[in-house]
Amino acid sequence: MNYDRKTASGFQARDTFVSGWADRLQLLDSVISTQEEAKKLAEAGAPEGTAVRAEEQTGGRGRMGRKWHSPSGKGIWMSIVLRPDLPLALTPQLTLLTGVAVCTAIREVTGVPAGIKWPNDLLAGGRKICGILLESCLREGGLHYAIAGIGISANLTEEDYPDHLQGVGTSLLIEGGGIPVDRERLTQAVLTEVEYLYSLYIEQGFQPVKQLWESMSVTLGRQISFSTPQGRCEGRAVGLDESGGLLLQDEAGNITSILSGEIEMI
């Protein structure tokens, strides 16, 4: 069965979906990290869909503890509280779900042809335009909540990037021909898309997310290099497995699933 964002079998059409999460957004000025602010709210019992967006992060982070460049007034630095009833092994699916939702919102609001690089980056023009960080909290042997962190480089200019990000990062402003992004509109679109796709995921499982992700991927069909404890390996990305791992096929036709880690598209 094929899914699209306007209608899915047995589910409310996207065009008639009414968002509730957009009203749970908290706007802050300067914070160390929206992830930490969202965790505080989650620990205090904040309902699912509560989101925090800051004008600036002084200690924003990406995967593997990397610092996330998030200057004041230039991007969408936001974290969302999720409370799914999921086994921990399936939480990587939430990263892919968030990527699909953000990619959809970016395409619709700005027209920039963003694509998804497994597992957590969005690219435009071959450069990184958005990163997603999914962090989980366990309690009594199960998932208590998850925080989906979203960092979208909206209105950064080339001059806003430090030397080590020159040629690596880009923004919607740059890729959109210099047209400034309405950050409020894009924020609302992201929240609506995440809520809609999350609702679809809870009701129908990973298959709709999987199909949408594969249709937006810039990874599939590419030759991929990745690190293992035994050294560097290569293969062609051919799809996602049912947990959200990336399927790679080697020259002999053998297929391996990568569940986490850094990949390089060759």
If DSSP states are collapsed to H, E and C, what string results for 127-165?
Answer: EEEEEEEEEEEEECCEEEEEEEEEEECCCCCHHHCCHHH
* The predicted structure's pLDDT at residue 7: 43
* The predicted structure's pLDDT at residue 1: 41
Q: Do both 102 and 228 map to the same domain?
A: no
| Nearest residue to 102 (alpha-carbon basis) of 79, 71, 69 | 79
Q: Do both 40 and 74 map to the same domain?
A: yes
Q: Do both 65 and 176 map to the same domain?
A: yes
The boundaries of the domain holding residue 163 are: 14-216
**pTM confidence score:** 0.92
User: Tell me: the pLDDT tens digits for 133-180?
Assistant: 999 999 887 899 999 999 999 999 999 998 888 888 999 999 999 999
* The predicted structure's pLDDT at residue 230: 67
* The predicted structure's pLDDT at residue 221: 96
User: Tell me: the pLDDT tens digits for 130-146?
Assistant: 999 999 999 887 899 99
As for how many domains the chain has, the answer is: 2
Q: Do both 119 and 152 map to the same domain?
A: yes
CATH number at residue 240: 2.30.30.100
Q: Do both 145 and 101 map to the same domain?
A: yes
Last residue of a domain, one of 216, 231, 248: 216
3-class DSSP state of 188: helix
* The predicted structure's pLDDT at residue 10: 45
Q: Do both 107 and 188 map to the same domain?
A: yes
Give the residues of the chain that fall short of pLDDT 70.
1-13, 62-66, 68, 229-230
Q: Do both 120 and 183 map to the same domain?
A: yes
Q: Do both 139 and 187 map to the same domain?
A: yes
Residue 5 falls within a domain, yes or no?
A: no
